[in-house]
């Protein structure tokens, strides 16, 4: 920190002007201290997500939408664990060449979504960087219902269900890159999540759950692996962002990622609003696909191997 060279007084001003107004809970103490003090009782889910300019968003993306995406990535992680997010801590490495208006836009986007999801900003750190904008958000939540849910508890015989639709993330990236401004591009910028109320359904019903961020197929394969079971998925049953019956088209949407929907396993016969049954848990290992009674070989690429 002694390396910082000239003192950057403007960032202290920016914290006061744009961040402190978002941190109104007593726990944050107006961000005047080195730590937040929070009374926490019971089992908590804690997630941490880092977004880097050029990797997770494009340099030209409006920063208010980047701020919303940052909050949503974190909210999605927590909902899929059956948790309702309550608090976040925010760290920002800010490139000196970006203007104050960009900082204001970033914080406006973060503020909009913290308010929308009823989350308190309780702490943070703002530093300078000579590199790309780098954001880190820590999310804290508690069980929305009877428990928090891991990826690893899937039980043979359970149904595999998914919320919302699959494929909007990949279609959105393509639309944004092509300069289109349709609903898919909007999802790329500010992903639509499963509703907060889904956290309660996960918490009360799921044996295993995760959010679909790297692609439905790869995330399903990971859930199967850590649970020590097999998963059978009926491709014709997957609710698609762009409906169609061509296997190639379905597979493209099931391997694209950035969906931020919930994939979970629940006791058979359970019908939950907002979720659609797409398969079942079986003894054994690995992922098996079929489509209208026909077996479909696994594509070589199931999704993003690691989100770097």
Which residues ranging from 103 to 122 are in contact with a copy of itself (CB under 8 A)? 122
285 part of the interface to a copy of itself, by CB under 8 A: no
> Number of C-alpha atoms within 13 angstroms, CB side, residue 173?
13
Give dist(CA 9, CA 52) in Å, integer: 24
Q: With respect to a copy of itself, which residue has the nearer C-beta, 150 or 290?
A: 150
Which residue has 């989350």 as its token pair?
Answer: 119
Which among 139, 260, 277 has a CA at the least distance from the CA of 210? 260
CB atoms within 10 A of CB 40: 11
Residues in 124-183 at the binding interface with a copy of itself, rule: CB under 8 A: 124-132, 134, 136, 138-139, 148, 150-152, 169-170, 173
Q: What is the DSSP letter of 16?
A: I
Identified binder of a copy of itself from the candidate list 17, 20, 25, 44, rule CB under 8 A: 44
Q: Cβ of residue 303: shortest distance to a copy of itself, in angstroms?
A: 9
Q: Cβ of residue 98: shortest distance to a copy of itself, in angstroms?
A: 13
Give dist(CA 299, CA 289) in Å, integer: 10
Q: With respect to a copy of itself, which residue has the nearer C-beta, 140 or 233?
A: 140
Q: What is the DSSP letter of 138?
A: E
Give dist(CA 132, CA 134) in Å, integer: 6
Identified binder of a copy of itself from the candidate list 18, 57, 103, 117, rule CB under 8 A: 57
211 part of the interface to a copy of itself, by CB under 8 A: yes
Residue count, binding to a copy of itself (CB under 8 A): 84
Give dist(CA 88, CA 140) in Å, integer: 6
> Number of C-alpha atoms within 13 angstroms, CB side, residue 152?
1
Binding span for a copy of itself by CB under 8 A among 44-52, 99-107, 160-168, 291-299: 44-52
Q: What angle do CA 54, 55, 58 make, to 5 degrees?
A: 40
Q: Cβ of residue 114: shortest distance to a copy of itself, in angstroms?
A: 16
Query: Going by C-beta distance under 8 Å and a sequence separation of 6 or more, which residues neighbour residue 36?
Result: 27, 28, 29, 87, 89, 122, 123
Which residue has 């804290």 as its token pair?
Answer: 140
Q: Cβ of residue 220: shortest distance to a copy of itself, in angstroms?
A: 15
47 part of the interface to a copy of itself, by CB under 8 A: yes
Q: Cβ of residue 58: shortest distance to a copy of itself, in angstroms?
A: 7
Q: With respect to a copy of itself, which residue has the nearer C-beta, 57 or 275?
A: 57
Q: Which secondary-structure segment (H or E) carries 88?
A: strand 83-95
Provide the mask over 68-107, with x wherever binding to a copy of itself is found by CB under 8 A and - wherever it is not.
Answer: ---------xx-xx-x-----xxxxxx-------------
186 part of the interface to a copy of itself, by CB under 8 A: no
Which among 74, 27, 64 has a CA at the least distance from the CA of 193? 74
Q: With respect to a copy of itself, which residue has the nearer C-beta, 85 or 234?
A: 85
Residues in 6-35 at the binding interface with a copy of itself, rule: CB under 8 A: 7-9, 11-12, 29, 32-35
Q: With respect to a copy of itself, which residue has the nearer C-beta, 80 or 119?
A: 80
């Amino acid at each position: 920190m002694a390396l910082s060279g000239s003192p950057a007084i403007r960032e202290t001003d920016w914290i006061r002007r744009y961040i402190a107004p978002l941190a109104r809970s007593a726990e944050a103490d107006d961000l005047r201290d080195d730590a937040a003090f929070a009374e926490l009782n019971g089992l908590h889910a804690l997630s941490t997500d880092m977004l880097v300019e050029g990797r997770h968003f494009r340099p030209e993306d409006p920063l208010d939408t980047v701020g919303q995406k940052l909050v949503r990535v974190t909210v999605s992680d927590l909902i899929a664990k059956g948790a309702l997010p309550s608090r976040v801590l925010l760290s920002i490495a800010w490139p000196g060449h970006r203007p104050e208006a960009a900082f204001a836009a970033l914080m406006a986007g973060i503020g909009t979504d913290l308010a929308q999801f009823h989350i308190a900003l309780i702490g943070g750190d703002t530093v300078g960087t000579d590199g790309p904008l780098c954001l880190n958000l820590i999310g804290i939540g508690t069980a929305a219902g009877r428990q928090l849910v891991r990826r690893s508890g899937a039980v043979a015989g359970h149904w595999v269900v998914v919320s919302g639709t699959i494929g909007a993330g990949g279609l959105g990236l393509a639309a944004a890159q092509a300069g289109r401004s349709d609903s898919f591009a909007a999802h790329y910028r500010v992903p639509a999540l499963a509703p907060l109320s889904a956290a309660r359904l996960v918490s009360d019903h799921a044996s295993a759950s995760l959010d679909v961020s790297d692609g439905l197929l790869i995330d399903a394969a990971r859930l199967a692996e850590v649970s020590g079971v097999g998963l059978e998925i009926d491709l014709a049953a997957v609710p698609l962002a762009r409906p169609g019956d061509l296997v190639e088209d379905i597979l493209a949407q099931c391997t694209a990622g950035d969906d931020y929907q919930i994939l979970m396993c629940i006791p058979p016969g359970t019908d939950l609003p907002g979720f659609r049954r797409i398969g079942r848990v079986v003894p054994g290992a690995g992922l098996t696909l079929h489509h209208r009674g026909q077996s479909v070989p696994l594509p070589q690429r199931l999704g993003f191997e690691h989100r770097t």
